[in-house]
Structure 1
Amino acid sequence: MTAEPSHQAAQPRLHTGFLASAARWPNRTALLLGGQQWTYAEVDRFATDIATVILSANPTPARIGIYARRSLTSYAAVIAALVAGAAFVPLNPLLPPARIRAIVKAADLDTVVTERRLLPSLKDILNDDVVAALPIVVTDDIGVAVERVVAPRTAGDDIRPPLPPRVRADDTAYMLFTSGSTGTPKGVPISHANVTSFLATNLARYAPTPDDVFSQTFEQSFDLSVFDMFMAWSAGATLCGFTSTELLAPLKIVRTRGITVWFSVPSVIAMQIKLGLLEPASLPSLRYSLFCGEPLPREYAQAWQRAAPGSIVENLYGPTELTIACTAYRWDPARSPPECHGGVVPIGRPYDGLISRVIDEQGTPASVDDTGELVVAGPQTFAAYWRNPSATEAAFVDLPNDEGEATRFYRTGDVVRRLPNDNLVFVGRRDHQVKVGGHRIELGEIETALRAQSGIVEAVAYAWPPDGAVAETVVAAVSGTEIDVDAVRTRLRALLPAYMVPTTIWIIETMPRNSSGKLDRRALAATLTDRAARPVERTAHAQ
C-alpha cells in the first residue's frame, strides 16, 4: 500500500502524505509508543492487512469504527480505513459504554476494528440486535480477521489488497461525535477537502522535516490528534504517542524522546506548574509548542516559554466543525502580554483562505474593539451535522463575503473582540455569559481574577444554582497549593464589583478532566451540586 491508484493521486487526500512517506522513507520511524517503535514500512504493512480484511467483508465501506487507543492498531486502523475508501470513526474505550453504543448506532458503521484484548468489552457494548451483526476486525500483537485475526507481518510477505474505491475530495475522511444539548451525540463529518486544506496551511506554516518528533498527547477521539498524526506522517517524521502512564509526567518524555513539536491543551501546563515541574530551560529540544482546545492564560504561556526558550509558542483555536484549528497566534514575550484580554492569550488571525466576521445578535458586523460572536467561512468548514438537519440549520448564518456575495458562515458560539491589528481575542462562550441580579457577568473575567491570586492554578466559576431558571449568585472552584480563601476573597473585592465576587469558593484537590484532557465543567458542577467535593476550605457567604 505504498502508492495510491493513479486516479486518486492528482488531488491530495488525508492519507496520501503517509503513503508518500512510506514509499520514500520505509525504514524511518513512523510511530513511537511506550518504548516500542515501528517503521513506515511496518505500519504500512499492518494497515494494508487491516484494509484487506475490511474490503473482503465489504468492497465499498463508508464508515469504519476504531475501538482501540494508544496502540499500533489504533494508528494503523486509521490508515487502513482511509485507504479502504472509508471514513474512520474513533470509539474511545474510556468512554461510557452507553455513549459508545450510541455512537456506533448513530454512525451506521460498516465494520469495527479492535484488538483481541478489547474484544470482550466491545462485545458487551454491542449487545443488542441493532449492532450485534456488525462485522468486527480483530488484531493481535503478532498478527488481522472478521473474527478473523490480523497480525503485523514481516517484510518478506507480500499481500496485494483489493483496489480501494475511488475517494472524492468531498467524501468524509473522519467523523467525530460531540456532546449534543439533548444528550444525543452530534456527528461532525470532516471531508478530505476540509482536512487537506488545513494540512496545507499548517505544513507551510511549520515546515516539518523527517527529523522532527511530534508529540501525541490527545486521545484519537479528539480532533486535535489528526494534526499530530498527519503533520508528522506527511513529512516523514516520527509520531510519539504517550501511554496513559507517560501522560502523568509528559515533560520527562519530551526530554528522553527528543520531541521537537509539542501540542496539547493548556491544562497540561497548569498541572506541570502545580507539580513544580515546569523549570526554566528544561525543554531544550522543542522548536514549536502549540496549544489548543481551551483558553490559554497569559501566565501559562509565559511559564512554558521560560521552560522552552528556544521554542516558538503558539495559541491555536478552532471548533471541530472548522477542522481542527482555524486561527493561530504567535506568542512574543515583549509584545504579547499587553494584547491579552482578561489574562488570556489572543487566538490570532484566521488562516489564509478563511473569512471571519464578528457579529452582534442581529448579525451586524461589530466595530473594532467591540465584542460579538465569531463566525467563519471557507474550505475548512464542515458541510452539515450527520443526519441532523435542524442542528445544521441552527449552526449557520448567511452573510455577505468580501465581494458582497451571500456566503454560509459557521456560528462558533464564541464571543471575541477584534483588535486594531486584526488579532482576535477570546472573551468567552455565549453560554458562559450569565445574568445575576440583573447584572450581565462574563464568568471568564471572574476566573482570570481568581487565577491571579497566590497559590491558585486553576479556577472555574458558575452561575448558581446551575440548574435553576434564574441564577441567584456566583460560586467558584479552585485548585492549587496553599490557598488562603479568606485572603482571596478580600483581594477579589478590591478587583471586582460585589455582584461578581463568588459567594462560595471550594478548593478542589484535582479538577476533573474529560477524555480530551480538557477541564470538565459539567462533571465539576455535578460534584459541587452533590456536595461530593472534598473542600479543604469553603468560604462563608460574602458580605
Structure 2
Amino acid sequence: MTIGSSTGVLWKRFEASARAHPEATALEVGDQRVTYCALAAEAAAVASHVETHLDGAGAVALCGQKTAATYAAYLGILKSGSTLVPVDPDWPAERLRQVLIAAGCVGVVSDGSDLGEVLPGLPVLDARPERMTWSGPPDTAGRPLRVPTAEYLMFTSGSTGRPKGVPIRRQQLAAYLDFAVEQYAAETDSRVSQVFSLTFDPSVHDLFLAWSSGSTLVVPPGRAALAPAAWIASAQITHWASPPSVAEVARRFRTLSPGSMPALQYGVFMGDQLRRETAEAWRRAAPACRVVNAYGPTETTITVTSFSLQPGEPCPRTSNDTVPIGQPNPGTTLRVTDAHGDEAETGELWVGGKQVFDGYLDVEESPTCFADGAAGLEARWYRTGDRVVQTADGLVHLGRIDRQVKVGSFRVELTEVETALRGLGGVVDGACFVVDDRLAAVFTVENDEIQEGYIRDGLAKTLPRYSIPHILLQVDLLPVTTNGKVDQTALVALVKGRASVPARQAGSS
C-alpha cells in the first residue's frame, strides 16, 4: 500500500498547512519549537514505519506524554491511513489492556513510555527521532477494526465497567472542523492552547483548529494549566480551550486577576457545566475575550452546540446559574423529549445530523443509545442522557437524566441538591452522590469558617428534609479526572475514608 493512500481529513488539513506555511511554527512544547516542515517530516517517518512493519492500515494505539515525539506520532498514524487509538500511559494496566484488545490494535506507537507487560507480543514503535525502533514482532492478527474508515477511536466509560469504543469517521470530523475553523477564526499568527488529554476528544479541537489554520499549537508545561492566567499571558495565547474546572480552580485560588489576560481572544469551555460566576471571573481577567460554552458528547464529535458571550455582553441568568449551552452547529438538529419521546420544553436532549457517530465499536452497546423511529420519527437520533430546558437564550444543561436516586423511600434529584448547595453564601462548588444508601455532599468554600450547621440550615430553606445530605464533607478542591470532570469514584473513596470528620474540619488538611 502507498503510504497515506487512505489518509483522512485530519492529516490532509495538517498537510495543507505544512505546504502553505512550511517554516511557520506548528508546535511549541517547553523550549522546543517545531516547524510545520519538520513536524511533517517526523510524521512521515512514523507513517513509513507503521506501514512497513504492520503491513496495512488498521487500529494503531498512540501512547505517550505530551512530547514533540508524541504529536509527530499522532500525525504519523493518521498519515499511514490507520485508525488512531489514543491511550494514556498513566491508565491502570487493566484498562490499557481492555482498550487495546477491544480496538483490535495491531501495534502501538509510543514516545518511549514504559508499557510494561500490558499486552505481551504487541509490537511497539519507539517514535523518538533518535530511536525510531520496534520492539516485538509484526502482529497483524488483532481483531480487525469494525469501522475501517474511522479517523480515530476514543473510549468512554461504560455502564458495564468496560470502556466503550466510539469510532469517529471522516465526514463527522469534516462537519465539525468546517464549523470550528470558521467559528473561532484562528490565523497564521494565532497561538492555540493544548490543555485537554489526547484521550479526550476536545483535544482534536485544539490540534486541528491550530493545524487547519497554520497556527501554533502551544502545550502548557507541567501544571501551568492549573494557573492559566499567568501562562496565557506569558505564552501570548490567543485561543484557549479547557474544561470549566480549570477556570474554576483558578477562580478558587484568586489567580484570575482583572485584566491579567489582555491578549486572549477566545476562551472555549467544554466537557462539563460552566458556572456563570466562573465565566464572569474569566471575562474580567480577559476583557477582550469571547467566552464560548460548548457542549457535546464524544458520540457527537467534539461539540454540537455553543453559546457565545461577546466582550461586554451581559451573561443571562439561568435556573441553575450555569451558562447556556446555546444553539446547534450547522448541520445538527436537536430535539428535547419527554419520557415518551414527544417534544417537550424540559427533557432529554436528542441529537441528529452530520456529526453523530454511527454506533459503538461493540455493536451490542448501540441499540439503546439511538431513538430510531421513536415517536413516529424517520431520522436517527442519538439519546444523550442529558436533561436540558429550552430558553430564549438557547438550551440550558440541567444535568444527567439518570441523576435521580432513591434514598430510603424518597426520590432525590442530585442536581437539585447541588444547585441549592452552590447557592449558599460562601460555598464555591459542590457535588452530591449516594454512598452506602446515604446521601453525601462534598463541597468547597471561600474560606474555612463555614460550619456544618450553616450548611444544613441553608439547605433546609429550599429542600425537603429527605434531600438534605446525611454526610457533609468540606475539601479544598473537588477531585477531577484527566478530562476535567468531577471524579465520582474519588469522591466516594474520599467520603468513605473521612465520613466521620465534621464538615468544618475536613478541609483543614
What is the TM-score with the length of structure 2 in the denominator?
0.91
- The one-letter code of the counterpart of 1:413 is G
Larger mean CA deviation between 231-240 and 431-440 belongs to: 431-440
State whether structure 2 residue 367 is matched by structure 1 residue 393.
Answer: yes
Instruction: Report if aligned partners of 2:158, 2:164 keep a CA contact under 8 Å in 1.
Output: yes
Partner of residue 402, structure 2: 431
3-state DSSP of counterpart to 1:457? strand
Partner of residue 57, structure 1: 53
Partner of residue 178, structure 2: 200
Partner of residue 440, structure 2: 475
Inter-CA distance 533–321: structure 2 relative to 1 (3 Å threshold): farther
- The one-letter code of the counterpart of 1:124 is E
Instruction: Report if aligned partners of 1:264, 1:291 keep a CA contact under 8 Å in 2.
Output: yes
Instruction: Report if aligned partners of 2:27, 2:217 keep a CA contact under 8 Å in 1.
Output: yes
State which of 364, 368, 378 in structure 1 corresponds to 2:353: 378
Instruction: Report if aligned partners of 1:415, 1:429 keep a CA contact under 8 Å in 2.
Output: yes
In structure 1, runs of 5+ residues without a counterpart are 127-131, 149-168
State whether structure 2 residue 490 is matched by structure 1 residue 490.
Answer: no
Instruction: State the distance in 1 between where 2:359 and 2:95 align.
Output: 21
Larger mean CA deviation between 319-328 and 134-143 belongs to: 134-143
Instruction: Report if aligned partners of 2:473, 2:499 keep a CA contact under 8 Å in 1.
Output: no
How far did 1:69 drift? 1.7
What is the TM-score with the length of structure 1 in the denominator?
0.85
State whether structure 2 residue 190 is matched by structure 1 residue 212.
Answer: yes
State whether structure 2 residue 495 is matched by structure 1 residue 524.
Answer: no
Instruction: State the distance in 2 between where 1:271 and 1:287 align.
Output: 21
Inter-CA distance 504–536: structure 2 relative to 1 (3 Å threshold): closer
Instruction: Report if aligned partners of 1:66, 1:91 keep a CA contact under 8 Å in 2.
Output: yes
Instruction: State the distance in 2 between where 1:445 and 1:282 align.
Output: 34
Instruction: State the distance in 2 between where 1:532 and 1:494 align.
Output: 24
Partner of residue 248, structure 2: 270
State whether structure 2 residue 434 is matched by structure 1 residue 442.
Answer: no
How far did 1:42 drift? 1.2
State whether structure 2 residue 315 is matched by structure 1 residue 336.
Answer: yes
3-state DSSP of counterpart to 2:379? strand
Larger mean CA deviation between 83-92 and 429-438 belongs to: 429-438
Tell me the percent identity. Answer: 35
Instruction: State the distance in 2 between where 1:398 and 1:271 align.
Output: 41
Partner of residue 500, structure 1: 467
3-state DSSP of counterpart to 2:9? coil
- The one-letter code of the counterpart of 1:32 is E
Instruction: State the distance in 2 between where 1:442 and 1:371 align.
Output: 15
Deviations 1:170-219 (A, max 9, x none): 81000011111111111111111111110001112122101111111111
Inter-CA distance 246–362: structure 2 relative to 1 (3 Å threshold): same
RMSD of aligned Cα (Å): 2.3
Instruction: State the distance in 2 between where 1:373 and 1:177 align.
Output: 23
State whether structure 2 residue 274 is matched by structure 1 residue 296.
Answer: yes
Deviations 1:106-149 (A, max 9, x none): 11111101123x2xx313322xxxxx22221112353512239x
Partner of residue 125, structure 1: 118
Larger mean CA deviation between 60-69 and 451-460 belongs to: 451-460
State which of 94, 102, 110 in structure 2 corresponds to 1:98: 94
State which of 344, 368, 390 in structure 2 corresponds to 1:418: 390
How far did 1:524 drift? 0.6
Inter-CA distance 297–399: structure 2 relative to 1 (3 Å threshold): farther
Partner of residue 143, structure 2: none
How far did 1:439 drift? 4.8
Instruction: State the distance in 2 between where 1:231 and 1:534 align.
Output: 47
Inter-CA distance 533–375: structure 2 relative to 1 (3 Å threshold): farther
Partner of residue 153, structure 1: none
Partner of residue 133, structure 2: 145
3-state DSSP of counterpart to 2:371? strand
Partner of residue 67, structure 1: 63
